[in-house]
Chains A and B, each alone.
Chain A
């Protein structure tokens, strides 16, 4: 039972354009959501997060949007840069479940110069 799903395994985008990564979840108890970025041979690196009481959080080129009614979140990267090429994981946690993270399967992003 996959509680967090990233339905696009890969995404290719031109440098300078917007990258949009999507994530869907099924557990309505989730109250905190995170995006991690992973380069080959490295561990995931925290990128940005959002609490369920908000619908948007912005940090520089990265913005996360949360639609609770649709159980959907997205990550926007504007403008995309070649260094953004990596695998991106969304993750969710529930305070009621001890804040443990449940990860999606990841989306591989390739930003072409």
Chain B
């Protein structure tokens, strides 16, 4: 079974530029998540989709970050304009629709973003 695919793996940009990340979840997984992981910290949820609808975007800095999941499969996360503090690894995860409390998320390898 193919895992969560993300691209690009690395991206270096200058501040105020824009950048986009792509994610293809595990086939059949209805729920998709974007996380930001700053060096030395655990992943922090940015946005959660259920199919193509947003479930939770309370932690997404909406003045500069946007995300979409057209057709309920692939997703893109965009930052415009980027700031120095956006340097982090951006992780995409997917899961089947949670059954009760159980919710195991499967992660992609991430995109490491450096903002100079």
- List the interface of chain A (C-beta within 8 A of B): 4, 31-32, 34, 36, 41-46, 49, 51-52, 89, 91, 93-95, 98-106
* Closest B residue, CB atoms, query A32: B101
Q: Are A42 and B109 in contact (CB under 8 A)?
A: yes
Q: Are A95 and B98 in contact (CB under 8 A)?
A: yes
Binds A, one of B11-19, B39-47, B70-78, B80-88: B39-47
What is the bound-complex CA distance between A42 and B106, given in angstroms?
A: 12
16 A-B pairs with C-beta separation under 8 A: A32-B101, A32-B103, A43-B91, A43-B108, A46-B104, A46-B105, A49-B104, A51-B102, A94-B101, A95-B98, A100-B33, A100-B48, A101-B33, A101-B45, A103-B42, A105-B42
Q: Separation in Å of the B109 CB from the closest CB of chain A?
A: 5
Tally of A-B residue pairs with Cβ under 8 A?
65
Q: Which residues of A contact B106 (CB under 8 A)?
A: 46
